[in-house]
Structure 1
Amino acid sequence: MVCASFAAAATSFATPGDSPVTWAVTPSNVEGPDGRSWVELELDPGASVDEHLAVRNLSDRDVTFALTAADGYFTPTGRFNMLPGDKQSVAAGIWISMDKTVTVAAGGTAVVPFTVTVPDNATPGDHAAGIAASIYSQGGSDGTQLGVESRVGFRVMTRVKGEVRPALSMKATASYVTSWNPLESGSADLTVDLENTGNVRLSVYPSTMVNDARWPAAGTEEARTLELLPGDRRTVSIHVPHVWPMGIMTIPLTVSQGVIAPDGATQSLDPVQESVTLWAIPWPQLAVLVALLLLLAGLFRGRTRRKKELVRLVEEAREAGRREAGNPLISGRYPGSGKSVRTQ
């Protein structure tokens, strides 16, 4: 089993029975590290350029590092990585040629040249690769056979000259999360699928405006946008709190975008906009409304029953009065005499 990792900064790696190895790999000139974090190139098809990398051995012993290059990509969390050693590169990773190993003295730095050669038939646009220095250990301290490769490197971005075609595809869905407290609002969750369908790198920033507040994608910040290579797909989530259920709702979604140039500058493009529809049924409020209606209906039926009972009692009293007035034995009078008699 091989476990590989890729770091863009100095890292430490402990091999069984040896002291830890700490090293760093950065772009450089012929004299040493030149302050760049990665290499950005712009070349014609068929052109080549010579570059350099510096391997700094920060440990207390001499170390021989393996040097590799491979196709590059961004992970779902937005970190740059390169294909592991057991995966075959088919793109920009095979454009890079250099020595396969370098031995660096303890505390020393070695500058290694490498060459990037663009094929004659390379398509215009951005192509990503990674370059790394690695060490490999076989076997663990407990006797297990576990191959571990640890890599430290940086990205090599090559823009092949030609027609630049930026394009971004977006699909979004939304769902409503109900708060069962009728006096509290719920929330909306948006899932946004983004795909760079063009041929150049894009910086994108998904967000929505709800209740006069801007809500970005989870994990993004104002100063940090997502970066998509050509062909990259990324799914992001936007959580919008304080959304009152209003039945059928429409949430506006905006993805700001720009083309990342080889010099690192970003050229803004028109944003991609879409309206996302969702059902936000006010179940708690409807339950309260139904309860109130049932209460009012009960009160109304009770009032109606009492009114009917009162009418019935009045009618019975009237009927009793009429019977009493029409019966001489009950009234105590003989018809036509005008005299009353006392009965015993």
Structure 2
Amino acid sequence: MKRRSSRFARVACAAAVLAAAIAPAVWSTSASADDDQTVTWSVRPADESGPDGRAWAELELEPGETTTERMAVINLGDSAVTFSLASADGYLTESGRFNMLPSDEKSTRAGTWITLPSTVTVEPGATAVVPFLVEVPKNATPGDHAAGVAASIRSEGASEGAAVGVESRVGFRVMVRVAGDVAPGLEVHGAGEYITEWNPLNPGTVVVRYTLHNSGNVRLESSSAVEWNGRTVSGETVELLPGDDRAVELHLRDVWPLGLLSVPLSVERAVVLPDGSREHIGPVMQTVSVSAIPWPQLLVLLSLVLMVGGMAFRGRRRRRQVETLVNAAREAGRREARIEG
């Protein structure tokens, strides 16, 4: 029984983590409520009549300005459900997926700019359009600010006699561009490593590892590339919110170890505008130095030197042995000649 309870606790924990993930598009999910009925729902940006086709809300507002947005909560199940509604600060995970702070963690940024009802009840197969207010503080800093809104249900289980709550949450991001001076900035901190192939007839791999830091106040998209001997290796496009850091790794294969290598790294930058377009602002260029010591080849060379040296030593020793025998034979011949004489 204890094993089954522990297993349930692990599953519940994993379900909570997965249910909290916020995708950058329309989503739906399902969860089991207390009465063992499965609840399936989706949440989308909306206008007065229902979902309007947007993936998320993109707003341009002045400091102190207020606007009304809407979310459509769609009940895809067979019974009426009361959903909890909430807003929270938004962020990007290490994999680049958008998420919002969990309900037990207090928001301090754009999540606090949103006011919406605490709950909404939706009939089976119906859609509820819920208005919510976005109010930008008068002292808000210019640039991009990320938040999220979500509809959730909570189910209960038991583990070793204790109640375990699982929150299943579905929503979308709300991006607010506060008017003012736009200051894009991207810092690149890179380093390189050479991975040796110990077969001396095979070249190795240069691994370029670097961190991207959005030091500006607007959302950026970045794509990177390294070049070597006319070959280019490109990385995936990375989205960065202001203040974000992202670790990236590129592999340049089939590179011979030639000592100190200088690998050019190019990082393209583009500001993501509220209308979804991109404004390219030019690349960041950096040279990554990589120490590529040809250890396998040096070992082969050392082996050849030792082999040749050993053969030369043995040759000299044999020659000395032959000379010794020849000299001994001559001396014996001279002794015999003196005796006969």
Query: Which residue matches 2:261?
Result: 249
Cα pair distance change 1:322/1:142, threshold 3 Å: closer
Q: Does 1:182 align with 2:200?
A: yes
Q: Does 1:169 align with 2:181?
A: no
Query: Which residue matches 1:121?
Result: 139
Pairing of 1:186-335 with structure 2 (within 5 A): 186-217=204-235, 220=236, 225-313=237-325, 315=327, 327=338, 330=340
Fraction of identical pairs, as percent: 50
Q: Secondary structure at the match of 1:10?
A: strand
Pairing of 1:125-164 with structure 2 (within 5 A): 125-140=143-158, 144-164=162-182
Q: Secondary structure at the match of 2:50?
A: coil
Contact 2:22 2:97 in 1 (8 A): no
Q: Distance in 2 between matches of 1:194 and 1:255?
A: 9
Larger deviation: 137-146 or 111-120?
137-146
Query: Which residue, out of 38, 41, 58, partners 1:20?
Result: 38
Q: Which has the larger radius of gyration?
A: 1
CA RMSD of aligned residues (A): 2.2
Q: Distance in 2 between matches of 1:57 and 1:10?
A: 10
Question: Which amino acid in structure 2 is aligned with residue 138 of structure 1?
Answer: E
* TM-score normalised per structure 2: 0.88
Structure 2 alignment gaps of length 5 or more: 1-8
> Number of paired residues?
323
Larger deviation: 67-76 or 16-25?
16-25
Q: Distance in 1 between matches of 2:266 and 2:243?
A: 21
Q: Distance in 2 between matches of 1:189 and 1:16?
A: 51
Q: Secondary structure at the match of 2:170?
A: strand
CA shift for structure 1 position 238? 1.8
Question: Which amino acid in structure 1 is aligned with residue 340 of structure 2?
Answer: I
CA shift for structure 1 position 317? 5.7
Structure 1 alignment gaps of length 5 or more: 332-344
Query: Which residue matches 1:341?
Result: none
Contact 1:16 1:141 in 2 (8 A): no
Contact 2:192 2:207 in 1 (8 A): yes
CA shift for structure 1 position 157? 0.4
Q: Does 1:74 align with 2:89?
A: no
Query: Which residue matches 1:38?
Result: 56
Contact 1:6 1:153 in 2 (8 A): no
Q: Distance in 2 between matches of 1:137 and 1:216?
A: 44
Higher helix proportion, which one? 2
Contact 1:27 1:35 in 2 (8 A): yes
* TM-score normalised per structure 1: 0.87
